[in-house]
Amino acid sequence: MNIKFKFLIFLIFVFSILKQSYAHELNKNKINSIIKNFILENPQIIEKTLQNLNLERTKQNFEVALTELKKIPNPKLKNVNSDVIIYEFFDYNCGYCKSVMQNIFNIYKKDKKVEIVFVEYPILSNSSLSAAIASLAARNQNKYFEYHTKLMKHTGKIDDQLLLSFAEELKIDTKKLKSDYSNEKLMLIINKNREIANRLNLRGTPAFIIGNKIYPGAMSEKDIEKAIALERKR
């Protein structure tokens, strides 16, 4: 017998017993015994019900988190007719993040219907946080992607001296960069990104959200294309 149907029959049965209990003052212990025996004889029904409840809660949590993520003013590469959004959570000290950078840019160049959102998610060190804030500050001078690329291609230590030298190489006004670096709005963006990542249980970088699915870890260009195709079929 179908589990859902069986569970429905059980609920109807319990309801009828409860009605009788009011009419005939049926002993509560007898009702409890009936319910207990049913659960013991049909544990799969309770297990399935709890699984469905957890899945529904997870889905709702994801949808709420995604709605909030869309409101955060993270840097993005956008096509006019984009139908799939790719969110990348990354850290500038993450080697795997560096390895997928070109894959992301290649996808954007090839697919004119994707939008890429760069979610600054510094979790590996204090220098990761400094780099994330500096990158967002560089955006105020329309140099975010140039600065982002330089940091992603860098394989050594990241410190304040490096952040300023990269700014100078890109002809970024370092005085303004330092001023913007202290802007609380930039830290607010990062804190909101961290909050969303925690809600989604993202514990490492890189992590991607493509459409309505989370993809933890590094992705090849081909993997990203498959994920996009899957989302478009949904």
**217: which DSSP letter?**
S
- Report the SS3 class of residue 122: coil
| DSSP designation for 2 | -
Q: What is the pLDDT of residues 111-125, one digit of tens each?
A: 999 999 999 999 999
Burial status of residue 116 (CB atoms within 10 A of its CB: 0-12, 13-18, 19 or more): buried
For residues 20 and 161, the model is more confident at 161
In this prediction, residue 88 carries a pLDDT of 98
**Do 117 and 183 touch, CB atoms closer than 8 A?**
no
d(CA 63, CA 166): 38
CATH fold label, 75-233: Glutaredoxin (3.40.30)
Q: Does residue 38 carry a pLDDT above 80? A: no
Give CATH 3.40.30.10 domain extents, the chain. 75-233
Q: With contact defined as beta carbons under 8 Å apart, do 147 and 114 qualify?
A: no
Q: Is 96 helix (H, G, I), strand (E, B) or coil?
A: helix
d(CA 74, CA 118): 6
pLDDT at residue number 52: 46
- End-to-end alpha-carbon separation of the chain, Å? 31
Residue reference for tokens 């909050």: 195
DSSP-H helix ranges across the chain: 3-24, 28-41, 43-71, 95-110, 126-139, 144-153, 160-169, 174-181, 184-199, 221-233
- Read off the pLDDT band of 53 (50, 70, 90): very low
Q: Over the stretch 141-186, which tens digit does the pLDDT of each residue have?
A: 999 999 999 999 999 999 999 999 999 999 999 999 999 999 999 9
